[in-house]
Amino acid sequence: MGKAAVVILLKVLMILISTAWLSLWLLKPTNLWTKKWKTAESSARNTVFGYYGLDFTVYTFPVIAVAMIGLVYLKLQSWGQRNSRQIRSSTAAFSNPLVTSSLVGILSGVEILSVFLFILFLAWTFYTRISHDFTKLTPMESLKLDLWQLKFLRVATRFGLLAEACLALLLLPILRELAVFRILGIQFEASVRYHIWLGTAMICFATFHGASTLFIWGVSHYIQDEITKWQRTGRIYLAGEITLVVGLVMWITSLPQIRRKRFEIFYYMHHLYIIFLVFFLLHAGDRHFYMIFAGVFLFCLDKLLRILQSWPQTHILSARLYPCKVVELILPKDTGLKYTPTSITFMKIPSISRFQWHSFSITSSSTIDHHTMSVLVKCDGRWTTSLYDNIRAQLDSDADKMKPIPVAIEGPYGPSSLTFLRYDNLLLVAGGIGITPFLSILHEIAATQGNGSSRYRLPSRIQLIYVVKKSQYIGLLQSASSLLQNHPSNKCHLKLKVFVTQEKQCGATLGEMLNEASQVQSVHFGLKGPIYAIHGPQSLYWTAALAGIASITFLVFLICFNHIFVPSGKNTSGHHSSKQAVSSKMKAPKEKSPSWVADILIISSFIISLACTSLVAIVLRWRRLKKEEVPLVSSKEEKVQQLSSIETKGVVEEEHEVHFGGRPNLKDEFSKFLNETNGSDIGVLVSGPETMKEAVASLCQQKSGCFQIGNKEKKPYLSFHALTFTL
């Protein structure tokens, strides 16, 4: 009861902080906020805090605070959701697909509402700003612009603020350890598309902002003077031009046509974000930077923690090569590392590329596999082909001559609780290598049934529709064959329907096709000496504490640096302020510090705060690794070898179906499953090509009874979840 109360309290606190921060963005364009904020900054100048401390506390820290509180909330919440069932609600319909289109993808009601509100906010910001600008428009003597040119220039300037609003949210969807979206139940691989939407909108606004400004300079014949100007104070135009060019390069190289075919170009060009952010700071100034600094702060800290997490490197214990050009990698993990099904991990193999990281779904269950973790990698691309060829080349090598393959692992990242267990029934739809996240679900269910655990309530029925081009892919199901046997003691019933689209009927049964996995070739690397196991991310409590340490350290050094390097302008005595003001007019005005000085102080303070946080994180990491360097033992290798000899004779052939020569009629398959589970809550999970996801989403939208609130007849409620196994 105590933990439940704390969870509710944390949830309310996050809502209040988020509401206050969003209110700031709504009030910021108004004259009322401008006057009040100038007064608050003037008052803060006379304190140790300074205006910079006020800006950081009001504009930046609320988002960091929500991330910190959210980590504690997720940790406590995961303890209380093990035995709960999904509860029907009229509001739950908003999380299901509402729009299905090949152009925009699958959109839920919540996503459409969020996009609409964000567009409404941008329109409000632009209208409020530009209407105020037009009422107080005065000619610029320095440029001698016409009235229409002045108005167009102000419009271009305000489009820059719209780009700033997008930039404030741009980095939040791609956080992993400090994931803010995970609080909403949205995993990293699903929130990446929000990053794409925001990035596209930002580039469009920024391009209009920059191109329109250059246009006005061109028609007024001042472009040669302004385009290369590096002002001492105010906006630095050259820095803005560099920011725009770098942003366009990053956006163009991230287009699907380039990202999917030339991933290396996309990956390396995206690291130009450092240059982009530094020159944005120099162009916009420190006050505007604090508005977007929360995402930058969390992203850089998240990146730092992920780098430390992947150290030290481990090695691949063994590998299995499937006939369908899929390789299974067996990796060592610490016994204390627990992860939920459908989790993903990021992998870097320095012998292939020293910088590239690739994401893969974990196929094993930490409930069964205490010492190892496995992933399936399809040979599709330069990096994966190199890995496949490297392992294949060592098939005929002696154990002493085999070269171990070092690998850096980051993750696993996954849902905070076993969400798929909340449903009465499960309908799984997979295509090709998209079976990988479902294997972890099947292994978890098999483990729960095998050890007789009563902690979890399992779905009563599970149907897996597996669509493949070649029958060779069926061998990937071999590790889940124990669940396919459907023993009477099993708590849930699994039915498998396989559709082989590019092969004609063959005489082989499902059991025989699973036994064809004996063609799998195994490679056991002869590792000598101790190796490090995968430990995974730092605990959520410590991650929240590290974010707090970084925030406090940054603020302390920012205050110290400003007092040291920036001349103080505060009055020593309030009684003599008027006299000092009069006397200051008689004296020659003191030259102001360049505006970029404050920018450099922000960068310096941030680097120092990251360095201090790194030291703390390294100490925590070292303490975890101190007693965890373990030598390889023969039992681990024997476990891998036994995978190739799993008995499949007990598979009940009549329970499962194998169809050749065509795709499934998903509408009919859904109807049959709904008839078997009338009136129950059904979780529909799909993993595969986008066309498959869209088809399943459309059927969930048509057949779910969640919108029929007034209907007294109990209708099935289909809860749609699309799993993304590639980014």
Distance of alpha carbon 269 from alpha carbon 672, whole angstroms: 49
Which pLDDT belongs to residue 710? 47
With beta carbons less than 8 A apart as the criterion, state whether 370 and 491 touch. no
Single pTM value for the model: 0.87
Structure tokens at 703: 């057949």
Question: Could you tell me if residue 661 is left (phi over 0), alpha (psi between -120 and 50 degrees) or otherwise beta?
Answer: left
With beta carbons less than 8 A apart as the criterion, state whether 446 and 381 touch. no
Distance of alpha carbon 482 from alpha carbon 494, whole angstroms: 11
Structure tokens at 161: 């603020």
Helix (H) or strand (E) holding 722: strand 717-722
Which pLDDT belongs to residue 120? 97
Helix (H) or strand (E) holding 277: helix 273-284
Helix (H) or strand (E) holding 143: none
Distance of alpha carbon 266 from alpha carbon 76, whole angstroms: 38
**Which residues does residue 572 pair with via DSSP β-bridges, in sequence order?**
none
How far is Cα of residue 273 from the mean position of the Cα atoms in its chain?
17
**Domains located in the chain, CATH noted:** 1-82+94-308+541-564+596-621 (no CATH), 314-533+655-706+713-722 (3.40.50.80)
* DSSP-assigned letter for residue 677: T
Residue 535, SS3? Answer: coil
Distance of alpha carbon 68 from alpha carbon 597, whole angstroms: 30
What does the pLDDT look like over 475-500, one tens digit per residue? 888 777 777 775 555 667 888 898 98
Residue 102, SS3? Answer: coil
With beta carbons less than 8 A apart as the criterion, state whether 445 and 458 touch. yes
Helix (H) or strand (E) holding 116: helix 109-135
Distance of alpha carbon 370 from alpha carbon 373, whole angstroms: 8
Residue 496, SS3? Answer: strand
Residue whose entry in the numeric block shows the structure tokens 């075919």: 261
The radius of gyration computed from the CA coordinates of the chain, to the nearest angstrom, equals: 29
Structure tokens at 695: 């088809």
Structure tokens at 174: 């791609």
* DSSP-assigned letter for residue 333: B
With beta carbons less than 8 A apart as the criterion, state whether 528 and 315 touch. no
The low-confidence residues of the chain, meaning pLDDT below 50, are 82-83, 86-91, 570-591, 629-652, 707-712
Which pLDDT belongs to residue 260? 81
Q: What stretches of 531-684 show up as alpha helix (H) in DSSP?
A: 540-565, 577-586, 595-625, 634-642, 666-676
Maximal CA-CA distance, the chain: 102
Give, in order, the Cα–Cα distances in Å from 26 to each of 23, 38, 113, 201, 253.
5, 17, 17, 19, 34
Residue whose entry in the numeric block shows the structure tokens 């209907």: 711
Strands (E), 367-520: 372-378, 406-413, 425-431, 461-468, 493-500
Q: What stretches of 486-539 show up as alpha helix (H) in DSSP?
A: 510-515
With beta carbons less than 8 A apart as the criterion, state whether 178 and 230 touch. no
Which pLDDT belongs to residue 645? 39
Which pLDDT belongs to residue 256? 87
Surface-to-core class of residue 57, CB atoms within 10 Å of its CB (0-12 exposed, 13-18 middle, 19+ buried): middle
How far is Cα of residue 153 from the mean position of the Cα atoms in its chain?
37
With beta carbons less than 8 A apart as the criterion, state whether 559 and 595 touch. no
Distance of alpha carbon 644 from alpha carbon 608, whole angstroms: 52
Distance of alpha carbon 97 from alpha carbon 666, whole angstroms: 17
With beta carbons less than 8 A apart as the criterion, state whether 420 and 340 touch. no
